[in-house]
């Protein structure tokens, strides 16, 4: 079995000054940002070099972000400073970052591909971490991305689809669920048509 890339892989990717996925936010996040409770506390998981967290901070959200790669977090902090927005950014492994219970108005997961045991546990903790009315925004590559050569993990078990997400995030109210191929052009890291799953879901009990 091909091994999941570890911290050294990401440190090497982020080690040079350019932004591997660019500095503009992910298109799906830009489209769906209105689903997040305005001005709320948002957690960006596996945030990389900060393009998504910094965008959210610039929209007035109170943003906390974490990523395994120190070089990525350093660039996220720099991007936030350049744009003059506050960002609470941490170097942390998803296995250990304390998400808490009922803490977050939003959780944002963009191409946060991890090995299944970690992903399953993370998704369980994300569902618990959302406040009532809190919203998860997630985009990831599906198994259909394998071999396309336009980015994403080349290990099928690291990809996700709607069935995986529905099983791993039970009890959330689905607001948007889609699997399709779309152009994903985000720096040199993502470079063409990509097979993605998009998932927007809310923890019940909040004001709709």
Q: Which residues bind ligand SAM (CB under 6 A)?
A: 10, 21, 26, 46-48, 51-52, 67-69, 72, 93-95, 110-112, 114, 118
Q: CB nearer to ligand SAM: give 48 or 134.
A: 48
DSSP 37: P
* Shortest reach from residue 81's CB to ligand SAM, in Å: 18
* Shortest reach from residue 159's CB to ligand SAM, in Å: 12
Q: Where are the beta strands (DSSP E) in the chain?
A: 41-45, 62-67, 88-91, 104-110, 130-141, 172-186, 190-203
Residue nearest to ligand SAM (CB): 48
Q: CB nearer to ligand SAM: give 51 or 131.
A: 51
* Shortest reach from residue 20's CB to ligand SAM, in Å: 8
Residue 157's CB is within 10 A of a number of other CB atoms, namely: 17
Given the structure tokens 């996700």, which residue do they identify? 160
* Shortest reach from residue 37's CB to ligand SAM, in Å: 21
* Shortest reach from residue 207's CB to ligand SAM, in Å: 29
Q: CB nearer to ligand SAM: give 137 or 169.
A: 137
Q: CB nearer to ligand SAM: give 68 or 126.
A: 68
How far is Cα 63 from Cα 42, in angstroms, rounded to an integer?
A: 5
Q: CB nearer to ligand SAM: give 120 or 206.
A: 120
Rg (Cα) of the chain, in Å, rounded? 16
How far is Cα 135 from Cα 115, in angstroms, rounded to an integer?
A: 23
By the 8 A CB rule, do 61 and 44 touch?
no
């Amino acid at each position: 079995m091909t091994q999941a890339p570890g911290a050294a892989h990401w440190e090497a990717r982020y080690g040079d000054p350019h932004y591997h996925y660019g500095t503009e936010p992910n298109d799906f996040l830009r489209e769906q940002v209105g689903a997040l409770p305005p001005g709320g506390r948002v957690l960006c998981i596996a945030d990389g070099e900060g393009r998504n967290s910094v965008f959210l901070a610039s929209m007035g959200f109170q943003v906390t972000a974490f990523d395994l790669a120190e070089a990525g977090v350093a660039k996220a902090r720099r991007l936030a400073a350049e744009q003059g927005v506050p960002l609470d950014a941490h170097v942390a492994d998803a296995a250990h970052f304390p998400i808490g219970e009922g803490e977050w108005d939003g959780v944002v997961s963009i191409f946060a591909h991890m090995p299944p045991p970690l992903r399953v546990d993370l998704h369980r903790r994300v569902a618990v971490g959302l406040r009532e009315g809190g919203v998860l925004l997630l985009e990831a590559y599906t198994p259909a991305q394998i071999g396309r050569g336009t980015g994403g993990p080349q290990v099928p078990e690291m990809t996700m689809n709607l069935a995986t997400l529905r099983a791993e995030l039970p009890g959330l109210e689905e607001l948007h669920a889609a699997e399709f191929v779309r152009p994903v052009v985000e720096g040199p890291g993502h470079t063409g048509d990509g097979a993605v799953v998009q998932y927007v879901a809310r923890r019940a009990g909040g004001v709709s």
